[in-house]
Amino acid sequence: MDFETVMQELEELGNKRMKKTYISNGAHEPLFGVATGKMKPLAKKIKKNQPLADQLYATGNYDAMYFAGIIADPMSMTEADFDRWTDSAYFYMLSDYVVAVTLAETDFAQAVADKWIASGEELKMSAGWSCYCWLLGNRPDSEFSASKIANMLDQVENTIHDSPDRTKSSMNNFIYTVGISYVPLHDKAVETAKAVGPVEVRRGKKKSSILLASENIQKDIDRGLLGFKRKNVRC
């Protein structure tokens, strides 16, 4: 299936209500408003196709960029490819749910995520922390350095309240993910969550959200989810 055909099919799948929802969350034109579930049949036809994914991502069309993440072949992508993708990720649904998710399937995910976390740029930092959430929620605990993750928890505790809003959200999710999915540091994550307390995240014209990692960790412990790992990173 070629680029023009995919763009035409995506346009036909779009609807005004979904488009309005995406815009309210930070997307901007061009976009069609395609529900992610409606992309799955199209993705099954194409499977992985990195050249097509790069073409789609380069359009700047939100739906095409999201779909690019679904059909991307992460193992054929380089660090430079991911830097290019994250440079074009203009709001969190791209940085955290397309770029970070795709990066999490590579062998060099931690190195790139570390670089983004240190960048000082809101969405890059958000993508870096989010990538660790995807990694910790999927890969065996043995793949991670406990001392490194512990230092990252300390970094979150010391900097989260002074960080940009979207980064705050991903950092808060990092505490939660360590607390549930990385058993060796469960206790430290719980302590960090209590020390951090409520995290206020401003959302443009919307009412601010108050995030509380300690409550979310406890809820999932009560549900028997301690040690939970996803079978797949991407759907």
DSSP code per residue over 15-59: -HHHHHHHHHTT--SS-----HHHHHHHHHHH---HHHHHHHHTT
Domain containing residue 224: 108-235
Position 121 in a domain? yes
Give yes or no for a contact between 36 and 69, defined as CB atoms under 8 angstroms apart: no
Position 27 in a domain? no
- Percent of the chain residues past pLDDT 90, beyond the cut: 96
Position 135 in a domain? yes
Position 72 in a domain? no
Quick check: bond before 184 cis, omega within 30? no
pLDDT for residue 105? 97
Say how many domains are in the chain.
Answer: 1
Position 159 in a domain? yes
Given a cut of 80, whether residue 72 has pLDDT beyond it is yes
Span 96-101, average pLDDT: 98
Express each pLDDT in 116-143 by its tens digit. 999 999 999 999 999 999 999 999 999 9
Position 133 in a domain? yes
pLDDT for residue 235? 60
Burial class (CB in 10 A: 0-12, 13-18, 19+), 26: middle
Position 71 in a domain? no
pTM: 0.95
Position 30 in a domain? no
